[in-house]
Structure 1
Amino acid sequence: MIKFSTCYIALLLSSVAFAAPASSSITAHSSAVVASFAAVSATKSTVGSASVVPSSTGSAASSTATVPYISLNPNYPLWDSSDTSEPQAERGSLGATVIGPTDDATVKQNPDLLAPPTTDGGSVPNAKWPMSLSHNRLQTGGWARQQNTDVIPFAANMAGVDMRLESGAIRELHWHKTAEWAYVLKGTTQVTTVDPMGQNYVANVGPGDLWYFPPGVPHSLQATNEDPDGTEFLLVFDSGDFSEDDTFLLTDWMAHTPAEVLAKNFQTPISTFAEVPAKELYIFPGQNPLPPSAAPISPAGTATTPYTYNFSSVAPTQVNGGTYKIIDSTTFAISKTIAASEITLEPGAIRELHWHPTQDEWNFFINGTGRVTIFASSGNARTFDYQAGDVGYIPATMGHYVENTGNTTLHFLEVFNTAQYADISLSNWLALVPPALVEAHLGFSPEFISTLPKTKQVLVGPSNSTSST
């Protein structure tokens, strides 16, 4: 039998008491720790409802031989935006009330910042940016606001723009140093382009549909009159420091080229350019565009690889807890640097615990409210709360989940700077390694281990049990 000094056990008890916020649970939890240390050499102990049984080889021992058990105390968000009470920086016995000035509206949207779960630890950089806090560029006919490394410094691999065009309005002919991927939020947008071989392409895309333009490929965007309000769409770029202010615009180039050079290039009198704008247009009013069938016919033909994808017509996969559908270059061939998944979560459901092996994740929340805890290794973890219009960012390899914390459907996008979508599921991983390893690490009973899914769940429905015992 292994012996432990009174001093050592007291130290363990004090560390557990600090981690557990509810005084009634501290006593029970501390007792469980003492019991586990006193019974290390026993053949079986119990953690909550999970049985811990040594492996059949006898070589595996419970993880509690070296560290105490986790706390089973719940760590739910303590309020939401509709709460009429005054939020306080308290969780159980930890923290204290707020007696200085505070922004209650912001605090109510971010309960896990003021009163974080006790499972949070260390430091994780900010992973949330509301587009409503972005400076908006207002134009005649529309607007644009963006998120990049200026507001989420560690979002190195992707940036986003939320753009609105009134009916008939035009986002002028332009190109970028980066690729542009888009998801239409509302209305119908007509996109045009010409590729390096002189092949042209014109198409209309509606809500839930996509387009993609590789770096350097010129294009334009115009709202049709199919929706009287015009269109709004989300743009994602495969570089975190992208800025809409650095776009190569047709009018800007023309205005900065000597008129005689323009005349020589187009083989026409200088007077032809009398009405060229002296500076960029960016977004400006226009007439309803003609249908794509009216586009000029190129001698080189029409682009053979489509620049748009009718993602809205793809049937989502329905599972317990919601739906999901995935898009990458295997189905949208032109999209070589951006892949995505579109997810709906029912109240209480979660996007299962997982990580992405090599690519950062950029999120955009379309409807509902969600919660994400990012595990950054070495004891570093932080929890963030999201609402519609928010951007989230999770670096590659960091473990996380997305939970619907509201009472309506949570609808969001996961976007990646990669040609092919990939993730690793925690439950699936544990189901496919030798059961004795899982038992030795986590104390799960063989019966429970046998229920772990051998195929990815992706989404998990609401739990039937919220008890901590």
Structure 2
Amino acid sequence: MSDDLNVKQDNNNGAMGRRALLGGSVVAVGAAALGGGLIGAAAASPATTTGAIGNEGALDSNLNNASHLFKLKAAAPTSFDGGYLQSSNEDNFPVLQGQKGSVVFIHLDVGGIREPHWHPTAWELNFIISGTAKWTILGTHPDGTYHNDVFEAEQGDLVFAPQGYFHYFENARADRPLDVLAVFNTSAGEPNDDIGIVGTLNSLPREVLAASFGIPVSAFANVPTDIKPVVITRHR
């Protein structure tokens, strides 16, 4: 036992002082750890307000004052050759501002195709309202082979497309349209969080595409150079 500890024991009445010294050290260490955690939690937590719980500052007033009702089917449609979209996002449904949520109603005519694409910042949960959808979701390849999930989804089914996974769906029926409700964990409007296959191909030099596919550069001569979002198209 060190002289320093002996002195401290004498000054604190022997064993009781020893326990107090040890206990004080434990309390000091624990307090430091707890204090650090509380400081970190305080830094990560929004300031306390009188508005809705769990939301940051300016959101509180918005959540309490903005309308909670949106007439999705009354929204102006964005039309394409093959179908149309009706969207609900922070731009037209203010209560969604900062909430990381949006909804899109997707209608595909007979022969309609949702352009192959992926969302770099959001997952996608799709509910089949009516009709039948043929889906492809391309996953990763940790075991050396791509995990490509191909299936049909019918009325009442849910389909989940993970964030960043390449996917598409099309109307699988030749006798009726397809209606799908897609929910995203992003407040961005469709197609702002959408990277489609046409834009992807046009972002790469033709010689790089040729090398990747192992075919002549001339094979890509007819790929359209218009890189605006296609979103919905149809079988030709």
Q: Specify the code of the residue in structure 1 equivalent to 2:66.
A: P
Q: Which residue of 2 aligns with 1:143?
A: 84
Counterparts in 2 of 1:157-306, with a 5 A limit? 157-176=100-119, 177-197=121-141, 198-225=146-173, 228-279=175-226, 280-286=229-235
CA distance in 1, matches of 2:107, 2:100: 24
Contact 1:160 1:235 survives alignment (8 Å) = yes
Aligned residues: CA RMSD: 1.7
Q: What are the ranges of 5 or more consecutive residues in structure 1 without an aligned counterpart?
A: 1-122, 288-469
After superposition, the C-alpha distances for 1:273-322 in whole angstroms (9 at most, x for unaligned) are 022122343211117xxxxxxxxxxxxxxxxxxxxxxxxxxxxxxxxxxx
Which letter does structure 1 place at the counterpart of 2:163?
A: P
Which residue in 2 is equivalent to 1:127?
Answer: 68
Q: Is the 8 A contact 1:146 1:244 kept in 2?
A: no
Aligned to 2:40: none
Structure with a larger share of its residues in helix: 2
Whether the 8 Å contact between 1:162 and 1:233 is mirrored in structure 2 is yes
Q: In structure 1, how many angstroms separate the alpha carbons of the residues matched to 2:116 and 2:167? A: 5
Aligned AA (1:153): P
Say which SS state the counterpart of residue 199 (structure 2) adopts.
helix
Q: Match for 1:208: what amino acid?
A: G
Q: Which amino acid aligns with 1:199?
A: H
Q: Which runs of 5+ in 2 are unaligned?
A: 1-63
Q: Secondary structure at the match of 2:104?
A: strand
Q: What amino acid is the match of 1:211? A: V
Query: Which whole-Å CA distance do the structure 1 matches of 2:185 and 2:211 have between them?
Result: 37
Alignment partner of 1:171: what SS?
strand
3-state SS of 1:128 partner? coil
User: Cα gap change, 1:152/1:282 in structure 2, threshold over 3 Å: closer, same or farther?
Assistant: closer
Compute the displacement of 1:193 (Å): 1.4
Q: 1:379-458 alignment to 2 at 5 Å?
A: none
**Residues matched between the structures, number:** 164
Residue in 2 that maps onto 1:455: none
Task: Give identity over the alignment, percent.
Answer: 26
CA contact (8 A) 2:191 2:231 kept: no
Shift of 1:157: 2.8
Instruction: State the TM-score, normalized to the length of structure 1.
Output: 0.34
Q: Report the 3-state secondary structure (helix = DSSP H, G, I; strand = E; otherwise coil) of the residue aligned with 1:204.
A: strand
Q: Which protein, 1 or 2, shows the higher relative CO under an 8 Å CA cutoff with sep ≥ 6?
A: 2
User: Aligned-pair distance for 1:133?
Assistant: 4.0
Measured against aligned partners, the alpha-carbon deviations of 1:323-365 in whole angstroms (never above 9, x if no partner) come to: xxxxxxxxxxxxxxxxxxxxxxxxxxxxxxxxxxxxxxxxxxx
Q: Which residue of 1 aligns with 2:14?
A: none
* Offset of residue 242 of structure 1: 4.3
The whole-number CA distance in structure 1 between the counterparts of 2:151 and 2:180 is 15
Letter of the 1:160 counterpart: V
What is the alpha-carbon distance in structure 1 between the residues aligned to residue 168 and residue 190 of structure 2?
Answer: 17
SS of 1:275's equivalent in the other structure is coil
Deviations along 1:88-141, one digit per CA (max 9) or x if unpaired, are xxxxxxxxxxxxxxxxxxxxxxxxxxxxxxxxxxx5321111123433211111
- Once the two structures are TM-superposed, the CA of residue 249 in structure 1 deviates from its matched residue by 0.2
Offset, 1:195: 0.7
Contact in 1 for aligned 2:91/2:189 (Cα 8 Å): no
Deviation at 1:253, TM superposition (A): 1.1
Instruction: Please report the TM-score for the alignment, with normalisation by the length of structure 2.
Output: 0.65
The whole-number CA distance in structure 2 between the counterparts of 1:251 and 1:157 is 27
Secondary structure, counterpart of 1:211 in structure 2:
strand
Cα 1:241–1:133 change in 2 (3 A) is: same
